[in-house]
Amino acid sequence: MKPIVDYRVYLVTDRALCLGRDLLDVVAAAVQGGVTLVQLREKHAGGREFVELGRALKDLLDPHRIPLLVNDRVDVAQAIGAAGVHVGQSDIPYADVRRILGPDAIIGLSVDTMEQALAAPDLDQVAGGAGIGPDYLGVGPIFPTATKLDAGEAWGLEKLTALRRQTHQTLVGIGGITVANAAAVMRAGADGVAVVSAIVSAPDPAAAARELLDAVEAARV
Ligand code: TZP
Ligand code: MG
């Protein structure tokens, strides 16, 4: 069965931004603070290291029933029994990822433009006949960010709202999201906020995660 996923505060990892702290310690703190979903995104990890890190992260998250997604690497996700994968526009095509991982996997797709976002539901037709589109769209960057240098032009809140009006897809905002603007992203139509630096580079990752969750919750009422 497909797990129910809570997208409210979605932590995306980057060891290089952890200010010298161990990634597992940072994620453990973020879990205490209340992150609801985690993606292992380590662009410079080799296959073996990626698997070892993924296993350790999954062991940390499983007792809390927090799903782990793997960035780009379908093989790593399968090796560690992760809940799913997140792919971008130039990675293995969504339909192939769905065919490999099956209907119960959580698969996220990055959309960099409105055109890509509106084309995404059409993927239903090519998902091996399974009729299953992506579980969520990662919409970004919402704001300028130094974390992903090739992230492209920022969407801004108005464009996110315009997308919200045209799709029923689950939308997760990413890029430049902080405690200060997370509520605005939710009010603009996101179902959750994905962050890297706002948590992993925070002096107190547990407090940062807690404040993000509070901001998201405040926007929902
Ligand atoms: N995809 C679009 S922006 C981004 C990714 C992975 C980086 C987000 O990092 P931050 O530190 O939350 O701005
Ligand atoms: Mg990718």
Residue ranges of domains in the chain, CATH in brackets: 9-219 (3.20.20.70)
pLDDT of 59 over the 80 cut: yes
- DSSP, collapsed to helix, strand or coil, labels residue 162 as helix
Q: What is the pLDDT of residue 129?
A: 45
Pocket of ligand 1 (CB under 6 A): 12, 140-141, 145, 147-148, 151, 174-177, 195-198
Q: What is the pLDDT of residue 125?
A: 52
Instruction: Report the range of poorest mean pLDDT among 6-10, 132-136, 195-199.
Output: 132-136
Q: Which two tokens stand for residue 12?
A: 């995306």
Smallest CA separation from ligand 1 atom 4, residue? 175
Mean pLDDT confidence for 183-187: 98
Q: pLDDT (tens digit, 9 = 90+) per residue, 118-139?
A: 988 655 555 454 557 899 999 9
- With CA atoms as reference, report the closest residue to 196 among 39, 54, 65: 39
Distance, CA 218 to ligand 2 centroid (Å)?
Answer: 31
How far apart CA 215 and CA 201 sit, in angstroms, is: 18
Q: DSSP code of 3?
A: P
Instruction: Indicate the pLDDT class of residue 87, thresholds 50, 70 and 90.
Output: very high
Mean pLDDT across the chain: 94
How far apart CA 216 and CA 221 sit, in angstroms, is: 9
- What ligand 1 atom has the least distance to the C-alpha of 177? 12
- With CA atoms as reference, report the closest residue to 200 among 188, 212, 192: 212
ipTM: 0.99
Q: What is the pLDDT of residue 4?
A: 87
- Burial grade of 169 (CB within 10 A; 0-12, 13-18, 19 or more): buried
